[in-house]
């Protein structure tokens, strides 16, 4: 096989991946297509589906249990994810997921409180710092321990 055939095949594969990535994040992509893309072999495609606010709830709930931590993290920040599932992800087995939640000021205070008692000292520390920053920004009297 010639070099140009390999190059063309490689280019068409990346064009297909780019197309799937764009469709996974598009607000106009159908529920059926998002459901199909949620099973893509590429975790970046699945993460894109997880963060799409139009992803059907049943698909989003499946992505909360994805094997890849980036997909689970993307699902956490989807505005449609129920609070019960956000609490579930606050106990994710992967410390990087919990750390990212602890680092984000948009994470609910009750979840930050859970993370402030995390088994991982880095997650704990980050959650406490985020809580302190939120208190300072809101002028509250509560101190994060």
55 with 108, same domain: the answer is no
112 with 133, same domain: the answer is yes
Query: Model's pTM, two decimal places?
Result: 0.81
17 with 43, same domain: the answer is yes
Q: With beta carbons less than 8 A apart as the criterion, state whether 90 and 114 touch.
A: yes
62 with 126, same domain: the answer is no
Dist CA 59 CA 45 (whole Å): 13
Which residues neighbour 136 within 8 Å (Cβ) at sequence distance 6 or greater? none
The predicted-structure confidence for 58-111, as pLDDT tens digits, reads as follows 999 999 999 999 999 999 999 999 999 999 999 999 999 999 999 999 999 999
Task: Give the residue numbers spanning the domain of 27.
Answer: 1-82
11 with 42, same domain: the answer is yes
The predicted-structure confidence for 119-140, as pLDDT tens digits, reads as follows 999 999 999 999 999 988 877 7
CA-based angle 38:40:42, to the nearest 5?
120
1 with 56, same domain: the answer is yes
The last residue of a domain, from among 56, 82, 108: 82
Max intra-chain CA distance, the chain: 70
């Amino acid at each position: 096989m010639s070099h140009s055939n390999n190059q063309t095949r490689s280019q068409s594969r990346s064009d297909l991946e780019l197309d799937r990535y764009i469709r996974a994040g598009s607000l106009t992509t159908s529920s059926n297509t998002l459901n199909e893309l949620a099973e893509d072999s590429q975790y970046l495609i699945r993460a894109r589906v997880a963060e799409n606010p139009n992803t059907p709830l049943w698909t989003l709930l499946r992505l909360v249990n994805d094997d890849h931590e980036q997909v689970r993290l993307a699902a956490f920040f989807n505005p449609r994810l129920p609070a019960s599932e956000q609490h579930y992800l606050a106990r994710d087995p992967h410390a990087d997921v919990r750390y990212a939640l602890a680092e984000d000021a948009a994470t609910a205070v009750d979840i930050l409180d859970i993370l402030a008692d995390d088994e991982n000292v880095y997650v704990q520390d980050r959650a406490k710092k985020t809580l302190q920053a939120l208190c300072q920004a809101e002028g509250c009297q509560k101190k994060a321990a």
